[in-house]
Amino acid sequence: MTSTKAILADQSDPLRSFRDRFELPDNVIYLDGNSLGALPKTVRQRVAKTISEEWGEQLIRSWNTADWVHLPQRVGNKIAGLIGAPAGTVVAADSTSINLFKVLSAALGLNAGRSKIVSERENFPTDLYIAEGVAKQIGKGHRLVLVDKPADIADALDDDVAVLMLTHVNYRTGYRHDMAAITQAAHDKGVLVVWDLAHSAGAMPVDLTSANADFAIGCGYKYLNGGPGAPAFLYVNPAHQGEFNQPLSGWFGHRAPFNFETVYAPSRNIEQYLCGTPQVLGMIALDEALSVWNDVDMEALRMKSTALCDTFIEGVEEFAAEYHLKLVTPRDADKRGSQVSYSCENGYAIMQALIARGVIGDFRAPDIIRFGFTPLYLSFADVENAVSILKEVLVTRSWDAHEYRVLGAVT
Ligand SMILES: Cc1ncc(COP(=O)(O)O)c(C=O)c1O
């Protein structure tokens, strides 16, 4: 039974009509848009048209006639509008990991007299792995230094730190950094900042320009709904464009790729951060998915995200202690993104039991159950239902079954 409070909240929700723009199966409460966004309805037709008409009929002519060749810039400009970046500062390309390699290398090149990259031990592993790889690749004593908690970041910024590399919203806990304050503190110490926006682009308003961020990267397949393995994006502050060559010097980053020159001459603008041929089908899906955002009021999005998370936290609070669920996400909405996570024993099995009942979240080892709240296609009624299904799974111990302990390759 949905409460009157949830019914009223849904009736007055300014974003409620957006749910119709997504294909979502009946009987599913989808709390994993922070991992793979749902399918926007128009993507299906757009990709089909690209395949049948642009690829099937126009063949190679579509690089010009359908302007496939500029998809990285066009899609990048759409993303720019969601992250407070001016046109011409964002491109869509490659994966988040590869884009991190590019911008981190560029940042280290800009701060060449310094050798440390500072990040958090709790950062997403690919970010740490890429930073280790970049440091090793440069091979001049560069190294990654990790801090254990956000409060330790400021003290770690000594005069040998070249780059501070942080994920805006932590993938596991949902903790959100104060981007503007941290960037300012880093700049005061001569440190450049790379932000990973994987869990914030499309989840909340982001303003890279007012924060004066140096570089940013992020995923296309989470809150931007670009589909599995969608192209990622990267941002370079206009002040740094043209100053340094990123090392993946492929032909799409060349000043004039179709001059087929022997020697690499980098573009002096954001195109320098491209490498090879864009993944057209994935790019088309992301481009179409982004059209949903034309009509979204980002402040309303954030308000709803906060309210959805609060509703979930308050609902679970009633039985969390009894079933040993520990909230690891900040209770203070200003300090979190758009997800809520709990640490608990048997988290994997609990999540599998929830998924079997249509409540789809995910599990992050060793003990986190994670619920993402995407304001474009979730209602307050969904959140209440998810809370009662979670309660039922815990009260009945229905998670305690062999089938829910079989570990999938992806958790
Ligand atoms: C913070 C963060 N960065 C990066 C990634 C993934 O990078 P890639 O798309 O290269 O696999 C994720 C994936 O969940 C993430 O959470």
Spell out the domain ranges in the chain: 4-30+297-405, 46-295
> Which residue's CA is minimally distant from atom 14 of ligand 1?
35
Q: How far apart are CA 261 and CA 57, in angstroms?
A: 31
Contact 360/220 with Cβ under 8 angstroms?
Answer: no
Q: What is the pLDDT of residues 201-218, one digit of tens each?
A: 999 999 999 999 999 999
Q: Is 277 a known ligand-binding residue?
A: yes
**For position 373, what pLDDT does the model report?**
98
- Tell me the pLDDT tens digit for each residue of 287-338: 999 999 999 999 999 999 999 999 999 999 999 999 999 999 999 999 999 9
- Residue 139: its pLDDT value, please? 87
Question: What is the model's pLDDT at position 218?
Answer: 98
Q: Is the peptide bond before 257 cis (omega within 30 degrees of 0)?
A: no
Is the distance from CB of 182 to CB of 164 less than 8 angstroms?
Answer: yes
- pLDDT for the residue numbered 408: 85
Architecture of domain 4-30+297-405: Alpha-Beta Complex (3.90)
pLDDT at 183 over 90: yes
Q: Which residues contact 282 (CB under 8 A, 6 or more apart)?
A: 220, 226, 227, 229, 230, 231
| Residue range 271-296, pLDDT digits in tens | 999 999 999 999 999 999 999 999 99
| Interval between CA 197 and ligand 1 midpoint (Å) | 9
214 is catalytic: no
Token pair of 153 as six digits:
């970041």
Q: Which pLDDT score, from 0 to 100, does residue 244 have? A: 73
| C-beta separation of 400 from 58 below 8 A | no
Least confident of 36-45, 154-163, 167-176, 234-243: 234-243
Between the CA of 124 and the centroid of ligand 1 the distance, in Å, is 7
| 125 labeled binding residue | yes
Nearest CA to ligand 1 atom 8: 96
Tally the C-alpha atoms within 13 A of residue 372's C-alpha that lie toward its C-beta.
Answer: 29
pLDDT band at 410 (very low <50, low <70, confident <90, very high): confident
pLDDT in tens, 22-39: 999 999 999 999 999 999
Inter-axis angle of helices 380-395 and 298-320, nearest 10? 20
51 vs 274: CA distance, rounded Å: 24
Topology (CATH) of 46-295: Aspartate Aminotransferase; domain 2 (3.40.640)
Q: Which one from 18, 22, 30, 124 is the annotated catalytic residue?
A: 124
Atom of ligand 1 nearest to the CA of 95: 10
Q: Which atom of ligand 1 is nearest to the CA of 170?
A: 1
Q: DSSP 3-state assignment of 390?
A: helix
For residues 79 and 302, what is the distance between their CA atoms, to the nearest angstrom? Answer: 17
Residue 205 corresponds to which tokens in the numbers above? 């308003």
Mean pLDDT for 119-140 is 96
Q: How far is CA 8 from CA 3, 11, 12, 385, in A?
A: 9, 5, 6, 15
Calculate the CA 299 to chain-centre distance. Answer: 18
User: What is the dihedral sign for C-alpha 16, 20, 24, 27?
Assistant: positive
Which atom of ligand 1 is least distant from the CA of 219?
9
3-state class (DSSP) for residue 314:
helix
Q: State yes or no: pLDDT of 113 exceeds 90.
A: yes
Please state, as a whole number, how many other Cβ atoms lie within 10 Å of the Cβ of residue 63.
17
Alpha carbon of 165 to ligand 1 centroid (Å): 14
Nearest CA to ligand 1 atom 6: 96
Q: Is the dihedral of CA 393, 398, 399, 404 positive or negative?
A: negative
Examine the residue annotation and report whether 302 is marked as an active-site residue of this protein: no
101 is in an annotated binding site: no
